[in-house]
């Protein structure tokens, strides 16, 4: 079992190995022990220590930021729906939905450990488990839309989805693209990056759920925090993201795209907890992680969340 395949836990879960203590500890030694951080996992250390140059050398298909085209999608072979004799492409896309294959050409934002953009990589490149095992990281967002009754809008991902198909998840979860309107600043300045992710969130709510922009103005997405996590999907695919978490209140008209969404519904906090106990239901790993680490604490104060806002990245590897 690789580091990536280990089960997720709501909080960083590594611990310092027990050590033999001296017979008598000084006050200074006690204070130093108190300040000692938990030991990082091997995978966490790998990702944390990767430099920009090492990322570009290890993943030659990543386009350095200064050479990116600013286009939403990269053209090429089966990613544009064309037939391909390439055995590697067949391995990844055999039997998959053509619309979903096309979306795998979208250009995601490749990051370093500190959420600084390095370049662009296709959605396919960024979600291949082998690449993720070697540390490839990209930017994402997760939207939690609550109606006026403080019920959360859930979606069940479509069967056609290439990753995490048929799993229940939050309202919308996707990726800002490596385009000027969604990238933010090239140096990773947080406010600009938040604005780019808000633009992407509005775009994807329309694409997946048919929610028009008038129901979800960009400035209404309230940023709470960023989490950094990794999770396997199936044998070929996985996730490794710095995920921007947004809350928005709205009563939109939903006109779902059934190539993206199999089902959707509003739930109370109590109902969602019941769903988590139902062994017949499957949930995306990031959704359960966010709920158990944050959302259940936020829910009852959904109109007063400013005190929970954090500019730090919670590295949950």
At 250-307, the pLDDT tens digits run: 999 999 999 999 999 999 999 999 999 999 999 999 999 999 999 999 999 999 999 9
pLDDT in tens, 47-57: 999 999 999 99
pLDDT of residue 235: 84
Average pLDDT over residues 68-82: 68
Q: What SS3 class is residue 266? A: strand
Paired residues of 120 in beta bridges: 63, 109
- Which comes out higher in pLDDT, residue 100 or 80? 100
Distances (CA, A) of 298 to 213, 279, 287: 25, 25, 14
Q: 1 exposed, middle or buried (CB, 10 Å; 0-12, 13-18, 19+)?
A: exposed
| 17 pLDDT higher than 50 | no
Residues tagged active-site: 173, 241
pLDDT of residue 12: 44
Average pLDDT over residues 207-223: 98
Enter the pTM of the model: 0.86
pLDDT of residue 4: 54
| 174 pLDDT higher than 60 | yes
């Amino acid at each position: 079992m690789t580091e990536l395949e280990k089960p997720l836990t709501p909080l960083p879960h590594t611990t310092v190995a027990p050590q033999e203590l001296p017979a008598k500890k000084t006050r200074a030694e006690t204070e130093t022990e108190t300040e000692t951080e938990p030991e990082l996992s091997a995978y966490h250390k790998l990702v944390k220590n990767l430099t920009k140059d090492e990322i570009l050398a290890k993943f030659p298909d990543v386009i350095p930021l200064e050479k990116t085209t600013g286009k939403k999608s990269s053209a090429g072979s089966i990613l544009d729906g064309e037939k391909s004799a390439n055995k590697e492409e067949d391995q990844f896309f055999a039997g998959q939905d053509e619309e979903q294959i096309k979306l795998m050409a979208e250009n995601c934002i490749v990051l370093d450990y500190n959420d600084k953009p390095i370049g662009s990589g296709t959605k396919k490149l960024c979600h291949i488990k082998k690449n993720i095992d070697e540390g490839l990281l990209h930017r994402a967002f997760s939207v939690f839309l609550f109606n006026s009754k403080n019920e959360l809008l859930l979606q069940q991902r479509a069967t056609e989805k290439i990753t995490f198909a048929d799993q229940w998840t939050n309202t919308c979860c996707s990726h800002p693209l490596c385009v000027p309107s969604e990238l933010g600043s090239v140096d990773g300045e947080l406010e600009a990056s938040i604005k780019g992710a808000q633009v992407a969130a509005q775009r994807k709510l329309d694409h997946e759920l048919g929610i028009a922009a008038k129901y979800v103005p960009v400035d209404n997405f309230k940023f709470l925090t960023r989490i950094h996590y990794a999770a396997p999907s199936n044998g070929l695919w996985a996730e490794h993201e710095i995920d921007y978490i947004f809350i928005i209140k709205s009563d939109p008209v939903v006109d779902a795209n059934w190539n993206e969404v199999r089902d959707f519904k509003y739930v109370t906090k109590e109902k969602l907890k019941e769903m988590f106990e139902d062994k017949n239901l499957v949930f995306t790993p990031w959704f359960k992680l966010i709920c158990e680490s944050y959302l259940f604490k936020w829910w009852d104060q959904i109109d007063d969340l400013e005190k929970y806002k954090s500019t730090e990245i919670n590295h949950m590897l």
